[in-house]
Structure 1
């Protein structure tokens, strides 16, 4: 098992607001500037992809020098930096694609080498069910091997495939009916995605950015490229928009940075579906040392199990005992990407509010990574299961949770996800189920996750040694703290009656066990004498 650790907080901040009440001239200027800089970005990306692995700082300087007369030195720097980041992202995606192909080839090769119908083991899959399936998978193996060879050749040559505007939108051009778009709507969305209106910040400059500048009172001004300076309505080749912007989220923090002339990066973009303009401000934040694990677990922990449609959470005390009732925070992952992101954000907001009311300072989650679990060859005909794990936003959930929890002072503890659902259901689902509460498998998994974060074993009790299976040995418990002496010993017997009306150790004769006529007590073995009859009879 991998050790649990406290996840680090975010390294940057991004906030967004809408550009309301834009004048017609403002929109015209934004479209012209975005289209002009977008064409330069396309040319620069083509040049960067052509350089491949032979790229160097000198070639970067040459590209920037060629773009400067057509825009400005700062616009050229932003374009070349964005191009470099896009090429690096494409390289990382290419490596991930190669690893997925290799995993598929290994699985197919192993299963094809086994006899048809052979059952698999716990650690490896078996053979295919029929000759027909074996033949189809053998053909797919050849396809994957060809794709793998082509991907490896591209990586060795430094060749990447990048589509400015997005591959999904490019393919939608050939399936407009399925995408629900007309040809004109597609062209507007395609042009908007290929525009470039982003500028990096500079500390020490006025309001933290010389290219796209937003003053503390919300005035937005843009430094126009050299060929478009005739569109300026302010001195020094700048264009000032007629609208004013305000940031509702982190607005005070943004205003403090702008007033102190600290670097803030801006990006202007058009949502073609809604026909609305937005501005996104982003900046880096200093890294804060993570809280030690013991300090984060001082007040207990809340274990969280992520599922396809909800988050299952349960609070655990400092000794690993589940307290209270489980909570579930539902979300809907259907629809557009914006809708799914909003659903995840709202579910995490409700979770963090509940954590704050409980007084707990830590949340335990699984360190999930379904990179090797999504392959078609690993799960075979289990299409619904593959769609289930592919639809779980594990990366987005981690990023959202670490960012939102950092603002509330709550630590996020990542644990090894191995067997949490299976062992949680085995050891905790039945004991936590009562006549008034139905404990699900996911609730039990949340308890297992929280106990693993605390360093406790998931098992509720440690079984006695095999040589002692009678009542003489008694049960041993591991529910006490790890440093408590006698933690592994037998539970002490509490004197008193075992009834619902009188609690143990609280009866009138709780301290005198001989006064209670039970089997095996000393009162049963005393000599018996009959009293003499009264004389009045």
Structure 2
């Protein structure tokens, strides 16, 4: 921290995706749909009971307790189904514990911030330069925040008690669907429609892959020809239509995305996990296949930026992109990729994917292999304490799909062989508008604040300062206006050198031939200096004598 500014973290190369997931539709018959519903409901009841046992306060943890729960479930289903159920239970329990830790950290940060502002005197406005906390504007706001502080302390105490007791709160089917049960009229659903969604969400039809087994999964098997079969639980073995308690569905499986990679895995009998679920609003069954990918080492940031970057600034309705060369200079003009974040989650995800697809096409056409983005995370910055009283701006920040944007960009860029560099978002918009918006604006091209922020992001990813060099001192006296104050330090790599001299004399006392020595600061001392210019071929015949008399000829003393 210096001068009220926070420290800026160095840029880093974002790691690639660790897993792959593909999905296809299952066109099942009515008989197959009834069997999937019955099997999914039965396994879902087992999963719910196992989760209740694991979530009890003071429940034993460790491999021994896990094995005991698995043996209990094996009696009703099978060893593989029991392994999938217990592993899913452990994942849900671990996620709930991480959510508790994150909630406690958020509550502590909010309490500290409110306590600091309550301790300050009432102040309608604060000083943004120092960043010091300011008091609240009115006594009414101070009183409301004191009550808010008490409520946050009570919430923190309750979450801390659950954390120490090992108690978690998990809803199989989703908390959002439970909340929807009490607002059926607003959602336009009947009780029967909601119950159908609830049953579909609580079904369990997921099996982990096993390397070395046939087609990479012995529980839910999909062959290269598209045949789908399930290993039925022991309680439902009488419903099998094939040997070894298996049921073969009439539907044929065909993946349109990554089908070659999936075919290679099942041909080599490598692990592939499958999940079958039912989409109630659409009335369709889907099959999702997923597997892990080998993590590739990230290239050094110097190698990734050797050919420049395409810097991207994410905004509420568009992506602002600009290409920069390896020295940090903008190349060409800005690019903007619009999207609409209104509507449901599927619509927003589709809009983000479409904008990123166009961005990656532009990157490939420009011959660049690196994209620079901000490492945005608004998880801790959505409160009124952070963004003030502007409800519109807080709603805008909360609507930013930063997590989805990061995940989509990294995944799609990895398929195109493009490296993603994440930079600290501190002051990129402010410094970009200060140093780049006006110089890049032309009569035929209007540069926005977001375009200038993209330039700042790219320069930070390249490791060069965001600010530009100021104009030199006045030509009449170099010390009248002082030296440059925004000059890059000597330790900054790839810093600018002296500016090239334009052709022609700068003053009446300097000849045009001295332009080649403009970078030599010692040239200000004229007499007896090695930087003084040599005589040209036309100047050899005419020499100015010390007496002021012109002497013309090929040598001294010639008249």
Scaled by the length of structure 1, what TM-score is found?
0.89
1:469 to 1:249, Cα distance in 2 relative to 1, 3 A: farther
Instruction: State the partner residue of 1:76.
Output: 82
- Whether contact under 8 Å (1:4, 1:413) holds in the other structure is yes
Within 5 A, what are the aligned runs for 1:329-344? 329-344=337-352
- Whether contact under 8 Å (1:296, 1:411) holds in the other structure is yes
Q: How many residues align?
A: 505
Instruction: State the partner residue of 2:9.
Output: 2
Q: Distance in 2 between matches of 1:291 and 1:224?
A: 47
| Aligned pair partner of 1:26 in 32, 35, 53 | 32
Instruction: State the 4+ residue runs in structure 1 displaced beyond 4 angstroms.
Output: 462-478, 481-484
1:483 is displaced (CA, Å) by: 6.2
- Whether contact under 8 Å (1:464, 1:475) holds in the other structure is no
1:69 is displaced (CA, Å) by: 1.3
Within 5 A, what are the aligned runs for 1:385-400? 385-400=393-408
Instruction: State the partner residue of 1:532.
Output: none
| Aligned pair partner of 2:150 in 142, 145, 164 | 142
Instruction: State the partner residue of 1:14.
Output: 21
- Whether contact under 8 Å (1:474, 1:491) holds in the other structure is no
| Aligned pair partner of 1:447 in 444, 455, 463 | 455
1:327 is displaced (CA, Å) by: 0.8
Instruction: State the partner residue of 1:92.
Output: 98
1:370 is displaced (CA, Å) by: 1.4
CA deviation string 1:153-181 (max 9, x = no partner) = 11111111111111111011011112221
Instruction: State the partner residue of 1:62.
Output: 68
Tell which deviates more after alignment, 62-71 or 126-135.
126-135
Instruction: State the partner residue of 1:185.
Output: 193
1:441 is displaced (CA, Å) by: 0.7
* Uncovered stretches (5+) of structure 2, i.e. residues with no partner: 1-7, 507-511, 514-535, 537-543, 551-559
1:527 to 1:230, Cα distance in 2 relative to 1, 3 A: farther
* Uncovered stretches (5+) of structure 1, i.e. residues with no partner: 499-503, 506-513, 515-521, 529-537
Q: Distance in 2 between matches of 1:483 and 1:144?
A: 48
Q: Distance in 2 between matches of 1:47 and 1:201?
A: 25
1:57 is displaced (CA, Å) by: 1.1
Q: Cα RMSD over matched residues?
A: 2.8
CA deviation string 1:456-486 (max 9, x = no partner) = 10011157699945599799987xx9766xx
Instruction: State the partner residue of 1:511.
Output: none
SS across alignment from 2:440: coil
Q: Distance in 1 between matches of 2:401 and 2:463?
A: 27
Instruction: State the partner residue of 2:56.
Output: 50
1:309 is displaced (CA, Å) by: 1.5
- Whether contact under 8 Å (1:312, 1:442) holds in the other structure is yes
Within 5 A, what are the aligned runs for 1:251-330? 251-330=259-338
- 1:220 is aligned to 2:228: yes
Scaled by the length of structure 2, what TM-score is found?
0.85
CA deviation string 1:264-307 (max 9, x = no partner) = 00000011111111010000111111111111111110111111
CA deviation string 1:187-243 (max 9, x = no partner) = 111111100000000000000000000001111101111111111111111111101
- Whether contact under 8 Å (2:44, 2:203) holds in the other structure is yes
1:488 is displaced (CA, Å) by: 4.5
